[in-house]
Each structure stands twice: as structure tokens, then as C-alpha cells.
Amino acid sequence: MPVVAPGNVAAIRIGAVEDRLVVRERGFALAPTAYVCASIDHRALDGMDAGALLTAMKKFLEED
């Protein structure tokens, strides 16, 4: 979990991209994946908005 530094309202951590086994069209395949984690000061940003940010990042990163 990333730590929000003083003076900031958010921290995002992205792990290394590695090939992992994923489910694809009724089967399994290796795909490049990475873990993304965010810590957000709830006084500055609502949890629902933070979730929307992570969802938008996921869609952007998954585009071909």
C-alpha cells in the first residue's frame, strides 16, 4: 500500500508488468499484467471518485 506523503492527497503504485495466467474466451492464456494500488486522502477525494479513477486507468492501460 503506498503511503501518501505530507502535502499530497494521493499516491499510486504500479507493480512490475509480468506475464500471468488469465482466463480468455473459455480457456487460459498468458497475458502481461500488473498490480495497481492507490492510497487517497478521504478528506480530498471521495472513495467512489477514487474507484472511478482506477477504473479509468484500467480501461486506458488495457486498450490495444
Q: What's the confidence (pLDDT) of residue 25?
A: 86
Percent of the chain residues topping a pLDDT of 70: 98
At 60, is the pLDDT very low, low, confident or very high (cuts 50, 70, 90)? very high
- Tens digit of each residue's pLDDT (9 = 90 or more) over 36-51: 888 988 888 888 988 8
What per-residue confidence (pLDDT) applies to 18?
A: 96
Reported confidence tier of residue 64, pLDDT bands at 50, 70, 90: low
Distance CA 63, CA 47 (A): 25
Give DSSP secondary structure letters for 10-54.
EEEEE---EEEEEEETTEEEEEEE--EEEEE-TTTS-HHHHHHHH
